[in-house]
């Protein structure tokens, strides 16, 4: 079964709002075994809406449209739907009663103009709106089912779950079972990831494998389909295992995991306390880590020592070291990590120092040069990385590298597997 998602409204067309409805609908339809052919977005122009409906209904068997069901003169979806379905608009008494009842609950009379929202194409299946005034409806256009939902996300989602999802699930069409898995990696460039996946990524393979680069890491998506859940399981299992084999410790999480969440989980699992000293990342490492609920049990402090005085006074970085080799150096990264660990009496000290730019770079210390220090009871190590990009990108990548350095250290401590959730 194939579907088209149609978003209707000038505010989406003109970019006043991003089309989050289409993304939400696409994910839900996929979960119902419906394949998405394309999305399109048109403005509040009756001919454009009608044209897109006719075009889509010739290509797929399901059209899900959102928006343009409001009471104002530029809400033209129902008129276009009626034309495309060759069915006149008729007053739907139950819907009118429901709209009037809702206004009663608002404590005011229904404005005359809202009556239009009860006008539904003849023989349409009406979809009640539990969250707002405009009912939705399903009509046939050519050989396709066309469903019309409100544009307000809250109303659209409720109507989809309560009425449209059951309707789609009941359609007597063979649909495929679907399972989606996401594996998130860090430290493997996209091109290398692509090479490692190699034959697994062949077009038409099942599961279908896709790569996405985000936040400096590469996420691997596996989409397995089959006639039934059992057969999906059979194709997903081995490939998932093969991918895990090929990426090993570079995989930090699945699903909605983030690098900072994975790192926090390992801190908790091993019961280690952390203190951070940041320079070039300016607080970003602490910010990301403190997005994790309950991290206060493991994160003691994060000292953003932007000035050299702060590095010396708070972390005990010798002023003569900064004098001799500069604040962006292996020596200072080391002293920062050891200094903050000692000051906070933490198990682990993590530090960043570098040049985020756009100014402050030089021939031997270019913008993007970053040192990451990790101090533990086993000693101190410093990693030197060179990043490319603007100031915010360099800060972000430096913070991610810092988390990954800490994550890999914690992962090597004892049985990390029990830390996986």
Restricted to residues 277-336, the positions that interact with a copy of itself (CB under 8 A) are 278, 281-287, 289-291, 293-294, 296, 299-307, 309-310, 313-314
269/262 Cα distance (integer angstroms):
10
How is residue 163 annotated by DSSP? I
For a copy of itself, give the closer residue by CB, 266 or 295. 295
**In whole angstroms, what is the distance from residue 276 CA to residue 373 CA?**
10
Comparison of 92 and 397: residue with beta carbon closer to a copy of itself: 397
CB of 251 to a copy of itself, least distance (A): 18
User: Quick one: which of 75, 3, 82 has its CA closest to 39?
Assistant: 3
**Identified binder of a copy of itself from the candidate list 128, 227, 390, 414, rule CB under 8 A:** 390
Q: Mask 69-88, x = binds a copy of itself (CB under 8 A)?
A: -xxxxx--------------
Kindly list the distances between the CA atom of residue 379 and the CA atoms of 313, 335, 373, 374, 402, in Å, as whole numbers in the listed order: 23, 12, 11, 8, 17
Distance (Å, whole) CA 366 – CA 331: 17
Q: How far is the CB of 15 from a copy of itself (least distance, A)?
A: 3
**Which residue has 């390992």 as its token pair?**
266
Count of residues in the chain: 421
Of the candidates 167, 157, 112, 109, the residue with the CA atom closest to the CA atom of residue 132: 157
Strands (E) in 168-306, as ranges, are 177-186, 208-214, 217-226, 251-254, 274-278, 299-304
Q: How many residues bind a copy of itself (CB under 8 A)?
A: 102
Among 211, 235, 413, 419, binds a copy of itself (CB under 8 A): 211
The verdict on 254 binding a copy of itself (CB under 8 A) reads no
Which lies closer to a copy of itself via its Cβ, residue 260 or residue 411?
Answer: 260
Q: Which of residues 94-153 bind a copy of itself (CB under 8 A)?
A: 102, 105-108, 111, 113-114, 131, 152
Which residues are paired to 145 by β-bridges?
62, 140
**Alpha helices (H) along 152-200:** 153-159, 165-170, 190-197
Smallest separation (angstroms) from a copy of itself to the CB of 290: 3
**Positions 160 through 199 that interact with a copy of itself (CB under 8 A):** 189-192, 194-195
Nearer to a copy of itself, 171 or 393 (CB): 393
Candidate ranges 165-173, 227-235, 251-259, 382-390; the one touching a copy of itself (CB under 8 A): 382-390
Among 58, 319, 392, 421, binds a copy of itself (CB under 8 A): 392
For residues 7-66, which are near a copy of itself according to CB under 8 A?
10-20, 22-28, 30, 36-43, 48, 52
Least separation, in Å, of the C-beta of 43 and a copy of itself?
7
Work out how close the CB of 65 gets to a copy of itself at its nearest, in angstroms, rounded to a whole number. Answer: 13
Pairing state of beta strands 208-214 and 217-226?
A: antiparallel
Nearer to a copy of itself, 245 or 296 (CB): 296
- 149 three-class SS: strand
Residue among 22, 24, 32, 47 nearest 2 (CA): 32
**Structural tokens at position 352:** 């960043």
């Amino acid at each position: 079964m194939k579907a088209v998602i149609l978003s209707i409204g000038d505010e989406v067309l003109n970019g006043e709002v991003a089309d989050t409805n289409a993304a939400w609908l696409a994910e839900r339809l996929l979960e119902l075994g419906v394949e998405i052919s394309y999305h399109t977005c048109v403005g509040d122009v009756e001919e454009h809406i009608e044209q897109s409906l006719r075009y889509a209904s010739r290509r797929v068997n399901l059209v899900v449209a959102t928006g343009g069901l409001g009471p104002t003169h530029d809400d033209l979806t129902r008129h276009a739907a009626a034309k495309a379905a060759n069915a006149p608009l008729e007053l739907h008494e139950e819907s009118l009663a429901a709209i009037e009842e809702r206004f009663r609950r608002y404590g005011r009379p229904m404005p005359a103009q809202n009556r239009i929202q009860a006008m539904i194409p003849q023989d349409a299946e009406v979809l009640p709106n539990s969250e707002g005034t405009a009912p939705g409806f399903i009509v046939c256009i050519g050989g396709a089912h066309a469903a019309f939902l409100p544009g307000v996300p809250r109303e659209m989602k409720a109507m989809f779950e309560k009425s449209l999802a059951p309707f789609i699930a009941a359609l007597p069409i063979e649909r495929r079972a679907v399972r989606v898995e996401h594996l998130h990696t860090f430290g493997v460039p996209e091109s290398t990831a692509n090479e490692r996946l190699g034959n697994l990524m062949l077009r038409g393979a099942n599961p279908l494998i896709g790569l996405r680069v985000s936040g400096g890491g590469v996420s691997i998506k596996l989409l397995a389909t089959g006639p039934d859940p059992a057969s999906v399981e059979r194709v997903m299992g081995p490939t998932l295992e093969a991918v895990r084999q090929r990426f090993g410790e570079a995989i930090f999480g699945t699903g909605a995991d983030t690098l900072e969440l994975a790192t926090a989980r390992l801190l908790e699992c091993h019961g280690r306390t952390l203190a951070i000293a940041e320079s070039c990342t300016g607080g970003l490492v602490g910010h990301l880590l403190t997005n994790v609920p309950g991290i206060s049990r493991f994160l003691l402090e994060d000292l953003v020592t932007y000035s050299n005085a702060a590095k010396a006074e708070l972390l005990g970085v010798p002023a003569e070291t900064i004098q001799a080799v500069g604040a962006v150096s292996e020596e200072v990264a080391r002293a920062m990590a050891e200094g903050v660990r000692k000051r906070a009496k933490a198990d682990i000290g993590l530090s960043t120092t570098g040049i985020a730019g756009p100014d402050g770079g030089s021939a031997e210390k270019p913008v993007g040069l970053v040192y990451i220090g990790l101090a533990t009871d086993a000693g101190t190590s410093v990693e030197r990385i060179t990043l490319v990009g603007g100031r915010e990108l360099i800060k972000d990548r430096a913070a991610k590298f810092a988390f990954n350095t800490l994550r890999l250290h914690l992962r090597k401590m004892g049985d990390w597997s029990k830390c996986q959730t």
